[in-house]
Amino acid sequence: MQVLFAILIAGALLGLNVWLYIANKKTPVPEGCESLKPDCSGCGITDCAIRRKEEE
């Protein structure tokens, strides 16, 4: 029974995550924030995906 509850809780949290991820993606970005990007010049992390995209 305990294992069933463990699976249920983990599954519920995973489902919540997926649902919120999709809902967040579907939510339109506010006007004026469409091209919002982190300021790479103010960041020292060089192996970040955003920076790599920026440098391409």
Partner 1 sequence: MNLLTLFLSALLINNVILSKFIGMCPFLGVSTKLSSAVGMGLAVIFVVFGASVLSWALYYYALVPLGLEYMKLICFILLIAAFVQFVEMFIKKTSPSLYKSLGIYLPLITTNCAVLYVALDNITQGYTLVETMVNSIAVPAGFMLVLLIFATIRERLATADVPEAWKGNPIAFVVAAIMAIAFSAFAGLV
Residues at the site binding partner 1, with contacts judged by CB under 8 A: 2, 5-6, 9-10, 13-14, 16-17, 20-21, 23-24, 27-33, 36-39, 41-45
The least CB distance from residue 51 to partner 1, in Å, is: 10
Report the 10 Å Cβ neighbour count for 31: 6
d(CA 29, CA 36) in angstroms, rounded, equals 10
HSE-up of residue 56 (Cα within 13 Å, Cβ side): 6
The least CB distance from residue 56 to partner 1, in Å, is: 19
The least CB distance from residue 7 to partner 1, in Å, is: 10
